[in-house]
Structure 1
Amino acid sequence: MTTALTDYLTRLSDSITQQKPSRLSKLFNQTSDPIQHVLRALHSETRGKVEKNYLANVIHRRGTALGLEDEWKTIVLERVWAGWMEENESWIEAYESQKLCINTYIRYISNNPSTCTSWVLPPLYTLLRDLQTLSSNASSEHFRREATSNNNNNNNALTTTSGGDIGLYEESTARIIQSAFKLCVSDRSNPPTLSLRKGVYKTASCLMGWYFKIDRTNLSKQLVRAVNSDPTLPKLESYKMADRVTWSYYLGLLAFRAGEDEVAGGHLGWAFERCLAGSRRNQELILKHLIPARLRLGLFPSPHLLAQYPKIERLYGKFIAAIRVGDVKAYDRALERLQSGEIAEEASTVEADADAGAGGMGMDQEMDVEVDGMGVDVGVWMALERGREVCLRGLMRGVWIACDKESRIPISAFKLALRHQGIEVDEDEAECLVAGMIWKGYMKGYISHEKRTVVLAKSGPFPALSKRVKPTGG
């Protein structure tokens, strides 16, 4: 074990001295050969029984001989111990060691601004990625421990206190990523080519993705304001395309979840157009949100595009077909399939990482952030429910065309059209549906309640979806 650790520490010392970010990143990566070699040696020498104090003494002696500073010894100790705890599925202990490792690394960078320039960023991303992986496992272990404790106390159900702590480690992870972001944004001493500010958008995107994961959308908005309001930051155009694509994706996702379809479509469309052709998972993830955002604007993906992404076609194909012909019943059936999980099961193989693939969503593979899968998240569900209005507009426009585009159409005509599709409503309900369409700007006109007639505008009674006048909240 001492030989393996000596080799590890020697390689780490050389990476620091020579400022080799890729080598240092590999040394920090849980799945890499250097870490795994040390862990195998630990297991072989101690037969699986390792004391942290013993490991600390070995690292201190060998590290001192190599001239490593105390902070680096702590970083190595906590990183190796986190790996050892992870191998033994002691997730809470692994998480706490990884957290201490990162905090020490960030503190060391802050205290040594002249030598810790932009080369220290890739190793930081590696450490953050592994922390994110450990976070969910640590929370699950915490939940299991609390559940066992409650069961031992003869409680029939989990208490509110135990349930409220489930996100403890996710919240802690958010604070650590925020520290990394602040570290980058606060570097004003180094020139642009060496500045930690090169990592501003990468860490900001990482933090935004994590906020989505833990359902802290309000913090995402604050983060965007903080980035946009800093006049000293280099222009976004000066950053790598990978970082810009990721940032645009998250801006689009934020707007999408707020129901701002036009804004979301702009950001997501920009990200999709510039996403690397080989980053298929990222393209699918963008399309998952881009398509429903654009449906309300009357913009449909081409059959050629859908044919290239079968999972996306399975997810949205029936919705698109229903909107094209104004088939509200078919749209409702598609919503029911989505709600039952049938569609999600068909498309469940799409991964949910927002950053897989260097340059794809902008994050190197060292920094994957799970947001949601190809299943139904709240944002997608709400967007598709709003999309039903577009389908209903299509049906009502079809009635208008069938009535030779007359300006006066009886409510009963809309009722009959719905009945023809298998949707039974009385005239009062049909009138309410028409009134809703008028109020939301899908139709121009008014209702004569006494005559049970819709009086449509003679010019443009069905405005283009991109030009409709939306009511507040519509």
Structure 2
Amino acid sequence: MNPFAKGAEGNKFGRILPAQGGSIFGGTSTSALTAQHQNPFQSKNNKIVEEEDDQDYEETSETEEFDPNDLFTDNQIAIDSLESYVSTVMEYLGFHDWTATTLIAPLLSLDHDHVLCNFLQVENPDIVLDINSSDEIYCEFVAAHISVCYYVAKEEWYKAYSMQMSMVTVFLKEIIQKSKDCNWFLPLLYPLCFDLRRLAKKAQATESNLDEDSTVDYNDDVANQFMNIYRSCVSDNRLTLKESKKVAIFPLTLLLMQSYFESNKMALLKPLIRAIDNLSVSFKARIPLSELVTYNFYLGKKAMFDSDLQTADKSLEYAFKYCPEKYLENKRRILIYWIPVKMFLGEIPLDSVLEDYNLNEFKIIAQGVRDGNIRYLRQGIISNRQFLMKSGVYLMFEKLAQLTYLALFKRLATIIGRPQIKIEMFMHLLKFLGEDIRHIDEVVCVLSNLIAKKKIKGYISKTHNTVVLSKLSPFYE
């Protein structure tokens, strides 16, 4: 069902959104707007068990010694000690294969239940390094992640953040920049960076509680680090998907979008969007739908703040359409921004939709705009000011007054039934609805703006204080 009705009279809008059929996101999700990503590991009684998974994963590198399909037919592996955890992670990383790295990435993420295992909460893990191994750097990564798990368990957020930042820095300098002809390690990048953002927020909150005058901004440090990684990946000139680091551009763009929105630096998004637009078809084809939903959500938000309503409408519609119904909270977040955009375009949300997605804050506002009741609009904005300001759409709803004036004037024109309407009649109607109108010139200004913006077809006769409407079609569609 289309969640909007068109026009001030509330007629149903004819364009219907396609129905959702089951789960749309079939693969691994790294999106902030979807559920946590699925992985083959589950925690049971403080043991991490690798279970069989019959999904098909895209193979991005091949060797004669290793077939990624074998990963789905191995016997279950129980991880019940620090040693078994390290050996399992290192075994998968040792394949130097995109599929294997994707499977093991959750075990280096704070989203996974292994973080709760007592045997993995060690501040300085004693891990024996194989001096003949070329993967020594990854073994150090595993040790650092275990330390982060320890600090998280102790809620020592600054130490956890500092260790995670060190991991990301080393990943950039020692792996991304030095590994020239491969990209099999990139599935580790998103969980590393995503955890860094969350730990930065925790450290920032702790810092603010201890020192209200603190000027430290961990979000800026994180965004700068993400940009360093982004530049390193976007400058890679290799064209094949098995070698190019440009495959990491899209998830990095999502992380940067989130950081720039939080720090109100949306002007920095323009080059990121341009880079996505210039990606080749082969790179765009491998972007998961879940990431496209997130990207269109942020793209729509930016376009809304830039007053580019057509782009905002298109992007937010895409995000709402392809976000599965089971992610109700995510669809609600999309609607918070899509509703004011649609209202500016003359489409009013249906009450049933506002109820379904728990957006009753918009009810009285929508009713005011639909009926031309400026009092309802003002009351709705004032009573829900905190919610609107927190969501970042307060100013958008403030600007809906003109659309409400238009709806009210349409109702007046219908009642009068002739093309000449005295401006005083409209002024008295506005005063009755609580508007602070002290002079007729204020009403003339309102009507002049509506005519100039091509909402009303007609002109104002100042001599007779009358609005003269077009006889054939007095209002634009």
TM range (shorter): 0.7 to 0.9
User: Does residue 353 of structure 2 align to residue 273 of structure 1?
Assistant: no
Counterparts of 1:27-426 in structure 2, within 5 Å, are 27-37=107-117, 42=122, 55=124, 58-59=126-127, 62-64=128-130, 67=133, 69-107=135-173, 108-117=175-184, 120-147=185-212, 158=213, 162=214, 165-166=215-216, 168-189=217-238, 191-192=240-241, 195-228=244-277, 230=278, 232=280, 234=282, 236-237=284-285, 239-309=287-357, 311-312=358-359, 314-339=360-385, 341=386, 344=387, 376-377=389-390, 379-406=392-419, 408-426=420-438
CA deviations over 1:35-74 (Å, ceiling 9, x no partner): 44366663xxxxxxx5xxxx27x23xx1236836342243
1:74 touches 1:104 (CA, 8 Å); kept in 2? Answer: no
CA distance in 2, matches of 1:253, 1:424: 33
Give the AA of the match of 1:281: E
Match among 21, 39, 42 for residue 101 of structure 2 = 21
Secondary structure in 2 matching 1:392 = helix
Q: Which residue of 2 aligns with 1:354?
A: none
Structure 2 SS opposite 1:25:
helix
Change (3 A) 1:419 1:227: same
User: 1:462 — aligned with what?
Assistant: 475
For residues 206-232 of structure 1, give each alpha carbon's deviation from its aligned partner in whole angstroms, at most 9, with x where no partner exists: 21122111211011123212332x365
8 Å CA contact 2:374, 2:433 repeated in 1: yes
Quote the Cα distance in structure 2 between the aligned partners of 1:243 and 1:33: 23
Q: 1:281 to 1:194 in 2, by over 3 A?
A: farther
Query: Which amino acid in the other structure matches residue 395 of structure 1?
Result: L
Q: Closer, same or farther in 2 for the Cα pair 1:237/1:301, shift >3 Å?
A: farther
Q: Do the aligned residues in 1 keep the contact of 2:115 with 2:121 (CA within 8 Å)? A: no
| Alpha-carbon distance in 2 for matches of 1:399, 1:437 | 15
RCO higher in 1 or 2 (8 Å CA, sep ≥ 6)? 2
**Secondary structure at 1:64's aligned position in 2?**
coil
User: What is the TM-score normalised by the length of structure 2?
Assistant: 0.75
Give 1:298 deviation, angstroms: 0.9
Check whether the contact 1:236–1:244 (CA below 8 A) recurs between aligned residues.
Answer: no
Which is helix-richer, 1 or 2?
1
**Contact 2:337–2:393 (8 Å) recurs in 1:** yes
Partner of 2:11: none
Task: Quote the offset at 1:116 in angstroms.
Answer: 3.4
Q: Does 1:436 pair with 2:439? A: no
Q: Give TM-score scaled by structure 1 length.
A: 0.75
TM-fit CA distance, 1:410: 1.4
Specify the alignment match of 2:22 in structure 1. Answer: none
Alpha carbons of structure 1 residues 424 and 247: separation in structure 2 relative to 1, 3 Å: closer
What per-residue deviation string (whole Å, max 9, x for no partner) do you get for residues 399-426 of structure 1? 12222132x2211110121133233523
Q: Say whether the 8 Å CA contact 1:16–1:24 is kept in structure 2.
A: yes
Q: Which is further off, 66-75 or 279-288?
A: 66-75
Q: CA deviation at 1:205?
A: 1.8
Q: Quick check: 2:105–2:188 contact (8 Å CA) kept in 1?
A: yes
| 1:279-303 deviation per Cα after TM superposition (whole angstroms, max 9, x unaligned) | 2222111111111101111122345
* Amino acid in structure 1 at the alignment position of 2:197: Q
Identity over the aligned pairs, expressed in percent? 22
**1:6–1:380 Cα change, 3 Å:** same
1:46 maps to which residue?
A: none
Q: Distance in 2 between matches of 1:63 and 1:190?
A: 35
Query: Structure 1 247/418 Cα, relative in aligned 2: closer, same or farther at 3 Å?
Result: same
Contact map agreement 1:257 1:379 (CA 8 A) in 2: no
Give the C-alpha shift of residue 394 in structure 1.
0.4
Cα distance, 1:254 vs structure 2 = 0.9
Give, in angstroms, the shift of residue 195 of structure 1: 4.4
Native 8 Å contact 2:365 2:380 kept in 1: yes
Gaps of 5+ in 1: 43-49, 148-157, 345-374, 465-474
Residue aligned with 2:421, SS: strand
Residue number among 3, 10, 18 corresponding to 2:87 in the alignment? 10
Matched residues in 2 for 1:84 and 1:41: separation? 4
Q: Which residue of 1 aligns with 2:26?
A: none
Q: Which runs of 5+ in 2 are unaligned?
A: 1-79
Q: Secondary structure at the match of 1:376?
A: helix
Number of paired residues?
393
1:235–1:400 Cα change, 3 Å: farther
Question: How much does 1:378 deviate?
Answer: 6.3
- Alpha-carbon distance between aligned partners in 2 of 1:26 and 1:245, rounded to the nearest angstrom: 22
Deviations along 1:144-169, whole A, 9 cap, x unmatched? Answer: 4444xxxxxxxxxx4xxx4xx24x21
Counterpart CA distance in 1 for 2:298 and 2:113 is: 33
Within 1, Cα distance between the matches of 2:121 and 2:416?
82
Q: 1:89 to 1:337 in 2, by over 3 A?
A: same
Structure 1 distance, partners of 2:404, 2:303, is 22
Q: Relative to structure 2, which stretch is displaced further, 241-250 or 330-339?
A: 241-250
Contact 2:94 2:135 in 1 (8 A): no
